[in-house]
Copies of this chain bind each other. A is one copy, B any other.
Amino acid sequence: MHSEFELITRFFTPDPPGAEAGVTLGVGDDCTLLAPTPGQRLAVSVDTSVAGIHFPEDAPAVAVGHRALAVSLSDLAAMGARARWCLMSLTLPAADDDAWLADFARGFHALCDATDTALVGGDVTRGELAIGVTVMGEVPPAQALTRSGARPGDLVAVTGALGGGAGGLALWQRGERDTGHPLLQRYLHPLPRLEAGLALRGLASAAIDISDGLLADLGHLLEASGVGAELTPDTLPLAEGLVTALGEEGARQAGLHGGDDYELLLGLPPDHLDEARARLAALGLALTVIGRFSDRSGVQGVTVTGDRGWQHFSGGVAP
C-alpha cells in the first residue's frame, strides 16, 4: 500500500501546485485555503459513488474517475452555479494497482480541466472502493436555480436526451464493452450540464438534475414547489440508439424511470422558452418541452405501476 502522502502526490497534485484560480494555499497543509468571490453564494454538495452500487466493479477506471466527479458537478449545474473547487475522499481496496489509479486519476483530472474545477484536497483510506466528492461552486444570491420555484403554467422541460444512462447500463450488463458506443458513452461519461445551468440563470423558474430518473426527480421538484404536472410522454427526447437497444417499451421505460442521465429538468415560464432554447442551442444542447406544471397535485398523463425507482447499478429499473 502506498502511503496517503505518496498517493496524493503521485496522482492527485495539480500541476503546477497552487496555481489554480482562487487557491491561496494548496494541498499539503492541514487545510487548503480558498478565496471565494465577494458577493457570491457558495454552493456545496457531496456525492459518494460505491463500486457495485453506483457503478459496476469492472467499469473502466477512467470512467469511474470521470463519473465520481460528474455526479457531484451535476448538482452545481442544477443550481446554476459555476464550478470552482472539489475535494475527494478515495477509499481503495488494500491491493494496489498503479495502472488502475493512473487511469482513474486521468478520468478525474480530465473532467476537472474541462469544467475549470480545481481539486483542492482529499484523503485516501483503505476499504471497499468508494469515491466521495465534495464540490463547491459560486452563484449570485438572486440567480440560484432551486427546486422550489416552479409555478402552475410553467413548462416542464429537459435538456438533452433521456434514458441513455439506463440504456448504457443495460448494454454493459449484456457484455457490450465498446466504450465508443453512444449509450455506453452516456452511461460511463455523463456530462454535467454546467454551461446549461449558467445559461438558464434568470430564465428557469426551477431546476433539478435527473440522477434518479425523470419521474422520481420530477416528484422531488413538485414536492419542493408545491405544484403538480401534466406530462406528454410522447414528447420525451430519447437518447440516440435507445429504441434499437431496448425496444419501444424498454426505451419508454428508460426515459421515464432510468437514472444516471444527469440532464437538467426545468420549470420554464412560457415566454422564456425561445431565449432558453437559443442559449442552449449555442451550447449544442436541445431543450424539449415535455409537459406543463399545474395546480393539480401529482403527475398526470403517465400511468405508473409499481415501484420503478432507479437503483443505479445494483438493480437497474425496478420491475
Q: Of B35, B79, B89, B146, which is within 8 A of A89 by CB?
A: B89
The residues in A between 127 and 145 inclusive whose CB is less than 8 angstroms from any CB of B are 127-128, 130, 132, 134, 136-137, 139, 141, 144
A132-B89 contact in complex given A31-B75, A34-B42, A121-B45, C-beta closer than 8 Å: yes
Q: Are B34 and A41 in contact (CB under 8 A)?
A: yes
- B residues near A24, Cβ cutoff 8 Å: 41, 141
Q: Are B126 and A48 in contact (CB under 8 A)?
A: no
User: Taking the complex as formed, is A101 at the interface, i.e. its CB lies under 8 A from any CB of chain B?
Assistant: no
Assembly CA distance A84 to B64 (angstroms): 31
- B residues near A39, Cβ cutoff 8 Å: 38
Interface size, chain A (Cβ < 8 Å) = 58
A32-B50 contact in complex given A25-B146, A128-B128, C-beta closer than 8 Å: no
Q: Of B33, B50, B126, B130, which is within 8 A of A43 by CB?
A: B33
Q: Of B32, B120, B147, which is within 8 A of A30 by CB?
A: B147
Which of A33, A53, A79 has most chain B Cβ within 10 Å? Answer: A33
User: Taking the complex as formed, is A46 at the interface, i.e. its CB lies under 8 A from any CB of chain B?
Assistant: yes
User: Taking the complex as formed, is A270 at the interface, i.e. its CB lies under 8 A from any CB of chain B?
Assistant: no
A43-B28 contact in complex given A91-B50, A91-B130, A127-B50, C-beta closer than 8 Å: no
**Considering the complex of A and B, which 8 residue pairs feature the smallest CB-CB distances, nearest first?**
A30-B78, A31-B43, A89-B132, A34-B42, A134-B134, A30-B75, A33-B41, A31-B45
CB closest chain-B residue, reference A53: B126
User: Taking the complex as formed, is A104 at the interface, i.e. its CB lies under 8 A from any CB of chain B?
Assistant: no
